[in-house]
Amino acid sequence: MNNPLRKRFGEQILLMFGREPKRPEEGDIAPAAQKIHFFKQGNRDFIAEKKHARAHAVKKNTWRNRRWATLITANLLFVLSYWLDVQLLEGSLTASRFVGFHLIDLNSALQVMLAHKHIIVNLLIGTGTILVGWALLGGRTFCSWVCPYHLLAEWAEKLHLWLAEKKLVSDAPIDRRLRVVFWLIFALLALGTGYTVYEAISPTGILSRALIYGPGLALLWVIALLFFEVFFSRRAWCRYACPIGLTYGVVGIVSPLRVKYTLEGCFHEGDCRKVCLVPHVLDTVIKGRAVDTEVPIGPDCTRCGLCVDTCPSGSLKFDVKGLSKLL
């Protein structure tokens, strides 16, 4: 990793904790990337190619469909295992057993240990399995490929965008640093009260339990969140509040699975940022901001694949660090 990418990697971690993206200085951009930025400035052939590609762009939902199928299958496994009593995947997303092997959500395990004020050895095996697994799979991949609230919020987002297009609602962005504040508040509440307070209001846990054991009054909280996201703030919970998302984002810092951006063919039309849950991770696609010819997207990316499906030039693709060089 060269110096521009190393510096950007650090900045992407700060973005995850709420800092706003900023334009890189000229000295922070690799010479090869500077040449491409200069070539694109006012180049008529490039502009004509961009217009042609935009006019003939084919709408794809390849990764979205794969993700929805995976998410629904993962949650159905819990439901079917419980109702058919086959003991394949017992429990819920908070804590479960897969063919007898313990799996414990990282954020839930942290809350439990803070509430009990000591490290619970029995939790370490299940937590370690999840930690290694999601570190390999991308950290926040959990959000978009497994979390049931993500799917409902994605559908609510479509309604929000339709209403916004009709000028019936407008998005009210919130300071992204609020997610860090929420994470600290719930950690301190667990430490101070001895109870895992967050688990009582986590839409992920509420929905997972409702799917398996049946609906309860807690679903009213989930409905209230979705109402807020449709009429007031687009994807508010996932963007500005969810402690689970931040925990898995930290896990994703070391993940080899990421979306990689290639500068040369990019038209900088910005469609990828319009569909992205966390558009701050795609600041590098803005004209003049890529620090190298190939730039991995940061750890706050949920690897949902919407940007990959949307990109008309194929400049955003899934990549496994180190593996692409071997193939």
Region 158-177: what's the mean pLDDT? 94
Region 38-48: what's the mean pLDDT? 74
Whole-number pLDDT of residue 190? 93
> Does the pLDDT of residue 327 top 80, yes or no?
no
- Cβ count near 219 (within 10 Å): 14
Is residue 286 within 8 Å of 248, Cβ to Cβ? no
Whole-number pLDDT of residue 59? 80
Region 156-160: what's the mean pLDDT? 96
Whole-prediction pTM: 0.89
Alpha-carbon span 292 to 313, nearest angstrom: 18
Whole-number pLDDT of residue 32? 92
Q: Which amino acid type is present at position 140?
A: R
The 8-class DSSP code of residue 299 comes to T
Burial (Cβ within 10 Å: 0-12, 13-18, ≥19) of residue 44: exposed
Alpha-helical regions (H) of the chain: 3-16, 31-40, 44-55, 62-83, 106-116, 121-137, 141-145, 148-165, 178-193, 197-201, 203-213, 219-231, 236, 243-251, 271-275, 306-310, 323-326
User: Coil, strand or helix: which one is 169?
Assistant: coil
Is residue 109 within 8 Å of 123, Cβ to Cβ? yes
Alpha-carbon span 127 to 179, nearest angstrom: 22
Region 187-192: what's the mean pLDDT? 94
Token digits of residue 53: 């590609």
Whole-number pLDDT of residue 178? 96
**Using 50, 70 and 90 to split pLDDT, how confident is the model at 324?**
low
> Does the pLDDT of residue 217 top 70, yes or no?
yes
Residue % of the chain over a pLDDT of 90: 62
Q: Work out whether strand 95-98 and strand 316-320 pair parallel, antiparallel, or are unpaired.
A: unpaired
Whole-number pLDDT of residue 3? 83
Region 184-211: what's the mean pLDDT? 93
Whole-number pLDDT of residue 325? 62
Q: Which amino acid type is present at position 137?
A: L
Distances (CA, A) of 215 to 87, 196, 228: 22, 21, 21
Whole-number pLDDT of residue 41? 78
Is residue 46 within 8 Å of 39, Cβ to Cβ? yes
Region 282-290: what's the mean pLDDT? 92
Is the pLDDT higher at 210 or at 112?
210
Region 82-99: what's the mean pLDDT? 82
> Does the pLDDT of residue 326 top 70, yes or no?
no
Q: What is the pLDDT of residues 227-254, one digit of tens each?
A: 999 999 999 999 999 999 999 999 999 8
Instruction: Choose the weakest-confidence range: 35-49, 167-181, 241-255, 303-317.
Output: 35-49
At which residue do the structure tokens 């990109």 appear?
Answer: 311
DSSP sequence for 53-101: HHHTPPP--HHHHHHHHHHHHHHHHHHHHHHTT--SEEE-SSEEEETTE
Alpha-carbon span 198 to 210, nearest angstrom: 17
- Mean of per-residue pLDDT scores for the chain: 89
